Structure 1
């Protein structure tokens, strides 16, 4: 049976058990189910055949016309289908799009203007497709690297600050109270609290608890793209949080020394080496209590 016939019968709850099983196995069933959920609360008025016939008979030189029941069913199915298409349009263009990268993963995707985005582990982006070329605005939780296509103003909003560019390459990280922005090409305007800074190629700025640090950048892209976790004057808890994201593990810290700051790199694809560097730097002993849990104890 053709897909449109199955859809019409499904909307009218007229499928047999075999036909229903076939329809549920189709790749578009989840999308149709979502549309049906939205249209369940929409009512299509019943067709009053008696009233219609009475009105026709009252007209002069008019020939009475009977509307077959199968046409009534078809009218309802078409009406629901048209409403479903409208809901689908709203879902596609007005409901925000969400892209995520789970712990231990990275996600790459393109925006409607072909700008490219790479999400680091444990990060999320939300944006709307509707009128994107005139309003290039998105919300970021975590860290992402952007290659922005030329066009109108491009904005990245985070809970800690906002980054505005025209066409460039840059990295934004917003984790807890730490806000880092790195410019790899072009110019980037950074807004943090009451501070506004303009970064150019090879410049970076970091804010943490209101304190600002400017950093010169020598790399051509973020180190995490090549599976290296880079830190600049970060405490051990921030380091362990990032290791948890990259390796999708849980880390418990039993140590009094949590204030020493670390600047350096850790591998994102070799957990044993990463644990060894942390242990040596902070005089800790790493114990693997399970496949996905590590406990650091002070020596």
Structure 2
């Protein structure tokens, strides 16, 4: 502080002889003297206050840019929409896809390679769009009909067995412990446990409880796509399960002697006819408890 005070008095020539002697003896005096000698030669023009004010007033006024509030909202909404679209695209592309068909319904959809899939009642398919060309497989629960676009290997995986194809039309059904595959066009390779079988046009195979049944079909597509259910050597419990899926009803069976296997067709759009065929085949009496509950009693 004392040093600064001496410097100020020295610049104003207010130092006493003793203070001047003390200040000149300081180590920084030579530096201060050079600065003072230099500034003494500087000349500053007189300040023209009126001219400065005039220059300020004559300057071009710049109107500040004001963004209306509603435009800010629009920008924010647009940003949110872009973000939402990005998230939706990523979700649809990378996250596994699921297609379902509820009771009495069918669901038709296209796979990434434009292969068409039709799901039967109470069925489900899971697959991934990501890298589909190199991983053309899906997981099926229930029954589905496939029209596969021509290309590389295509595989349907179920809990009971797998089906591998290349550009063909076929039907796969995996219900409980029964696995059915029908080839309508091209060739399909069926893997069931340690068994592998190749099916061609018009051939089908069924696996149930360790047994294998091979049949020949003449229909161009599954009967259920024409509102009929086709059965081949089906037990009555599996038969009734399928009827319940198609009509979204509950069926109660009060009969013991029902070991006979059923081969035939049932309609999916006329419940009364379907019930009449079942009751006649197994000699049962039909009782409608309500609109969605049926009881079969032994006659």
Residue 238 of structure 1 corresponds to: 238
Is the contact made by 1:146 and 1:170 (CA closer than 8 Å) also made in structure 2? yes
- Cα gap change, 1:80/1:106 in structure 2, threshold over 3 Å: closer, same or farther? closer
Is the contact made by 1:150 and 1:166 (CA closer than 8 Å) also made in structure 2? yes
Residue 153 of structure 2 corresponds to: 153
- CA deviations over 1:52-99 (Å, ceiling 9, x no partner): xxxxxxxxxxxxxxxxxx9xx999999977765553333111111111
Residue 207 of structure 2 corresponds to: 207
Structure 1 unmatched runs, 5+:
1-69
Please report how far the alpha carbon of residue 218 of structure 1 lies from its aligned counterpart in structure 2 after TM superposition: 1.1
Please report how far the alpha carbon of residue 133 of structure 1 lies from its aligned counterpart in structure 2 after TM superposition: 2.0
Who wins on radius of gyration, i.e. which is larger? Answer: 2
Residue 187 of structure 2 corresponds to: 187
Structure 1 range deviating more: 105-114 or 137-146: 105-114
Is the contact made by 1:106 and 1:119 (CA closer than 8 Å) also made in structure 2? yes
Secondary structure, aligned partner of 1:130? coil
Map 1:80-159 → 2, pairs under 5 A: 84=84, 86-159=86-159
Residue 223 of structure 2 corresponds to: 223
Distance 1:279 1:78 in 2: 63
Which aligned runs of 4 or more in structure 1 are off by greater than 3 angstroms? Answer: 73-87
Please report how far the alpha carbon of residue 134 of structure 1 lies from its aligned counterpart in structure 2 after TM superposition: 2.1
Please report how far the alpha carbon of residue 258 of structure 1 lies from its aligned counterpart in structure 2 after TM superposition: 2.9
Residue 275 of structure 2 corresponds to: 275
Secondary structure, aligned partner of 1:240? helix
Secondary structure, aligned partner of 1:269? coil
- CA deviations over 1:220-257 (Å, ceiling 9, x no partner): 11011101110000100000000001111110100002
Distance 2:281 2:166 in 1: 41
Distance 2:117 2:86 in 1: 30
- Cα gap change, 1:285/1:131 in structure 2, threshold over 3 Å: closer, same or farther? same
Distance 2:83 2:195 in 1: 48
Distance 1:241 1:225 in 2: 18
Cα RMSD (Å) = 2.1
- CA deviations over 1:142-172 (Å, ceiling 9, x no partner): 0000000001110100110000001000000
Structure 2 unmatched runs, 5+:
1-68
Count of residue correspondences: 231
Distance 1:211 1:90 in 2: 45
Secondary structure, aligned partner of 2:242? helix
Residue 63 of structure 1 corresponds to: none
- Cα gap change, 1:109/1:85 in structure 2, threshold over 3 Å: closer, same or farther? closer
- Cα gap change, 1:76/1:269 in structure 2, threshold over 3 Å: closer, same or farther? closer
